[in-house]
Amino acid sequence: MSCPAWPTHSATGTAMTTPDSQALAAYPELQHLIDLRDTGWTFHVAVNGGHITQIYGHRYWPHG
């Protein structure tokens, strides 16, 4: 049994952690959220019954 080829860098060029790489191997659509996170966005999740039901994102803008 071989390990999947996990990505090592996000689209913004930031080195990814093993959890990021594993998440992308399972859910490639998460790449967009990782790219946003790498440019200053913060995310919070809403969980219901042990499952993520919503993801909220925000970014603080300097100077208002």
Sequence-distant (≥ 6) Cβ neighbours of residue 52 within 8 angstroms = 45, 46
The single-letter DSSP state of residue 5 is -
Model-wide pTM > 0.85? no
Question: Which has the minimum average pLDDT: 11-15, 20-24, 39-43, 54-58?
Answer: 11-15
Give the per-residue pLDDT at 36.
93
pLDDT confidence of residue 19: 85
The stretches of 1-64 forming alpha helices (DSSP H) are 18-26, 31-38
Burial of 34 (0-12, 13-18, 19+ CB in 10 A): buried
- The DSSP code for 12 is T
